Amino acid sequence: MISFEEVSKTYPGGQQALVKVNFHIAPGEMAFLTGHSGAGKSTLLKLISIMERPSVGKVLINGHDLNTITRRQIAYIRRDIGMIFQSHQLLMDKTAFDNVALPLVIEGYTHKEINKRVMAALEMVGLHDKAKYFPMMLSGGEQQRIGIARAVVNKPPILLADEPTGNLDPKLSMEIIKLFEEFNRAGVSVLIATHDLGLIARMRYRTLTLRRGRMITDGLTESEGDML
Amino acid sequence: MSILFSQRKQASGSRKVGLVQRVFMFFVSHVRQAVGSLGELWRQPTASLMTVAVLGLSITLPGTLYIMVKNIEKMTTGWDQAAEISLFLKDTTSAVAAQQLVARLSAWPEIDSVVFIPADDALTEFKSLSGLGDALAYLPDNPLPDVVLVSPSVEASAPAPARELLNKLTSQREVDVGKLDVEWLERLYAVVNIARDLVMLIGALLFVSVVLIIGNTIRLNILSKRDEILVMKLVGATDAFIHRPFLYTGFWYGFLGGMLAWVAIILILWWMDNSIQQFANLYEKQFHITGLTSTALFVLLGLSILLGVIGSAISVQRHVREIEPS
């Protein structure tokens, strides 16, 4: 589903964020991406959502080379990728409902369809009774779940999460991860970047580890052993 | 449409939603954004009113000047036809020869009518008009020549053809001197031409400044919506989708500014009509200023909307591109 082939990213100024990264995530797989702050986790996710372009190498999604995607096509790529951020990236002057509805409005769904899907997504994250609330009236965990509802409302085949549990306590973090597991069971490929090693240790998922821009393990050996 | 996943059912393309529905949703989305933009303006009345006022007044000035020029042109078209050529005949011309000349000239297609004023009649008229009366009686003989007054046809009465006609007339054997009183008319035309050029120039300058003002206002709008634009880009909004509300804002600025200009022009004309009437009375003429015709009104509104949309389009092209999630 997601493939990196010899991908390096050097930022202007010479900072090497990623060095010759190779890995492949299969369709319907759920994996964690870990490493210290500044190891290149965010850069890696940005290369998938084309917020950055690789300096060298190829990023492929479903066999399509992202280097061939033009500026104008980026928007359509992002509709296939649900993105979740540590800082939620919610619109503070819009209700939870309107926030979740945004991807559907952009894609031109009918009013009826939007209503149905947004309520279903809010139901999934357990916030259907807070549709009319503004983000400021919600707790950190609830805000994060609104962000997740927005990411999955148009049923993308790929879900990327950048430190989704960053500000949450372990219990809330676990709830969020459980949500991701649910989506994964529905066939969505999920890649979660986190430095919360304790959280990962409690889960038995493939873990890719970055250190100073290099992938020191792509987690295949351990996870294969675990699965067998 | 999904580039990466050809199988993926998506958006309005799926769920048995046909082309008609999709086109319909496209328009619904447009109307939604247009109304949304209007609501945006409504929520910031002071700032919006100021922008609308700048646009409206900037269009009022060239609009009013344009009407002035149009009216002057209208007024002078009447004077155009009054152009008359006076031909002074040589002393040696006999009365018969003069009559022959008149008969000959009447047949010319460029000439509307010919009036022959014999020297004696002219002297009588001069006596009565000048008040010199008896003094003229002491003259040994009539110093005035015979005169032929020629009124050119409508086509030949504009300055250039009239001058041509004059040349032709003065080359006649019997004619001593010909006089065409169009110089003042030509000067007036030249002044009106300059005025028209000035209106165009002032208009062009103001229009450019309007585009810049709208562009800058929209730029501030874009900057204040930075976060929203970032989020929209993250969830897959196309540039066109993000641009649309701002373009509609420009549209509304233009529309409201145009309406304001219309009202302002009506007020100005109403206010000026009085003094123009007084002016016209001095010339013992009835003259009413012609206001905006409905065509001119539509041109004015269209121009205003165009300026608003151009201003916001320029701004949007530049500044939305600069906002990229990172």
Structural domain boundaries of chain B? 33-77+188-322, 85-177
Check residue B82 and give its pLDDT.
52
Q: Which residue of A has its CA nearest to B233?
A: A75
Cβ pairs bridging A and B (under 8 Å): 88
Indicate if the pLDDT at residue B12 is higher than 50. no
Per-residue pLDDT, averaged over A86-99, amounts to 90
Indicate if the pLDDT at residue B287 is higher than 90. no
> Are residues A91 and B227, on separate chains, in Cβ contact within 8 Å?
yes
- Contact list in B for residue A64 (CB cut-off 8 A) is 3-4
Q: What is the largest CA-CA distance in chain B?
A: 116
Element at B79 (helix H, strand E) = helix B45-80
Per-residue pLDDT, averaged over A153-171, amounts to 87
Residue closest to B309 by CA, chosen among B252, B250, B263: B250
Per-residue pLDDT, averaged over A7-14, amounts to 90
Query: Which of B1, B2, B3 would best serve as a mutation to test chain A binding (most A beta carbons within 10 A)?
Result: B3
Per-residue pLDDT, averaged over B223-229, amounts to 91
CA angle, corner B12, sides to B6 and B17, nearest 5? Answer: 105
CATH match for B85-177 among 3.30.1330.50, 3.30.70.100, 2.40.128.30, 3.30.70.3040: 3.30.70.3040
Q: Which residue of A has its CA nearest to B236?
A: A75
> Are residues B3 and A78, on separate chains, in Cβ contact within 8 Å?
no
Indicate if the pLDDT at residue B13 is higher than 50. no
| First-to-final CA distance of chain A | 22
Structural domain boundaries of chain A? 28-51+75-207
Smallest CA–CA distance, residue B31 to chain A, in Å, is: 13
Per-residue pLDDT, averaged over B44-50, amounts to 87
Confidence of residue B250 (pLDDT cuts 50, 70, 90): very high
Secondary structure of residue A19 in the 3-state scheme: strand
- Contact list in A for residue B228 (CB cut-off 8 A) is 91
Q: Which residue of A has its CA nearest to B231?
A: A89
Check residue A228 and give its pLDDT.
38
Query: Which of A46, A85, A106 would best serve as a mutation to test chain B binding (most B beta carbons within 10 A)?
Result: A106
Smallest CA–CA distance, residue B40 to chain A, in Å, is: 13
Whole-number average pLDDT of chain B: 82
Check residue A225 and give its pLDDT.
39
> Are residues B25 and A107, on separate chains, in Cβ contact within 8 Å?
no
Indicate if the pLDDT at residue A190 is higher than 90. yes
A158 versus B121: which is more confidently predicted?
A158
Whole-number Cα distances in Å, A167 to A100, A174, B172, B263: 21, 12, 106, 58
Residue closest to A47 by CA, chosen among A153, A154, A160: A160
**Span A28-51+75-207: which CATH code?**
3.40.50.300
C-alpha to C-alpha distance for A68 and A138, rounded to whole angstroms: 41
Q: What is the pLDDT of residues B120-163, one digit of tens each?
A: 887 777 777 777 767 777 777 777 888 888 888 777 777 777 77
Indicate if the pLDDT at residue A147 is higher than 90. yes
C-alpha to C-alpha distance for B319 and A190, rounded to whole angstroms: 34
C-alpha to C-alpha distance for A208 and A192, rounded to whole angstroms: 10
From the list B22, B239, B324, which residue is nearest A108 (CB)? B22
> Are residues B237 and A75, on separate chains, in Cβ contact within 8 Å?
yes
* Span of A28-42, B6-20, B90-104, B171-185 with lowest mean pLDDT: B6-20
C-alpha to C-alpha distance for B47 and A162, rounded to whole angstroms: 39
Q: What is the pLDDT of residues B170-222, one digit of tens each?
A: 888 888 888 877 677 777 778 888 888 888 898 899 899 989 999 999 999 99
Secondary structure of residue B135 in the 3-state scheme: helix
C-alpha to C-alpha distance for B124 and B117, rounded to whole angstroms: 11
C-alpha to C-alpha distance for B292 and B282, rounded to whole angstroms: 25
> Are residues B3 and A76, on separate chains, in Cβ contact within 8 Å?
yes
Query: Which of B9, B235, B326 would best serve as a mutation to test chain A binding (most A beta carbons within 10 A)?
Result: B235
In this structure, which amino acid lies at residue B89?
Answer: L
> Are residues B236 and A91, on separate chains, in Cβ contact within 8 Å?
no
ipTM for this model? 0.87
Confidence of residue A68 (pLDDT cuts 50, 70, 90): very high
Smallest CA–CA distance, residue B10 to chain A, in Å, is: 8
Check residue A88 and give its pLDDT.
82
> Are residues B235 and A78, on separate chains, in Cβ contact within 8 Å?
yes
Per-residue pLDDT, averaged over B59-83, amounts to 75
Check residue B9 and give its pLDDT.
57
Check residue A129 and give its pLDDT.
92
Smallest CA–CA distance, residue A228 to chain B, in Å, is: 31
From the list B15, B228, B241, which residue is nearest A91 (CB)? B228
Report the share of chain B in percent with pLDDT over 70.
Answer: 90
Smallest CA–CA distance, residue B255 to chain A, in Å, is: 27
Query: Which of A109, A111, A116, A146 would best serve as a mutation to test chain B binding (most B beta carbons within 10 A)?
Result: A109
Smallest CA–CA distance, residue B306 to chain A, in Å, is: 26
Secondary structure of residue B174 in the 3-state scheme: coil
Q: Which two tokens stand for residue B262?
A: 């219309």
Check residue A1 and give its pLDDT.
85
Check residue A120 and give its pLDDT.
93
C-alpha to C-alpha distance for B277 and B75, rounded to whole angstroms: 13
C-alpha to C-alpha distance for B145 and B270, rounded to whole angstroms: 51
Instruction: Answer yes or no: are the C-beta atoms of B202 and B62 closer than 8 Å.
Output: yes
Check residue B285 and give its pLDDT.
66
> Are residues A80 and B227, on separate chains, in Cβ contact within 8 Å?
no
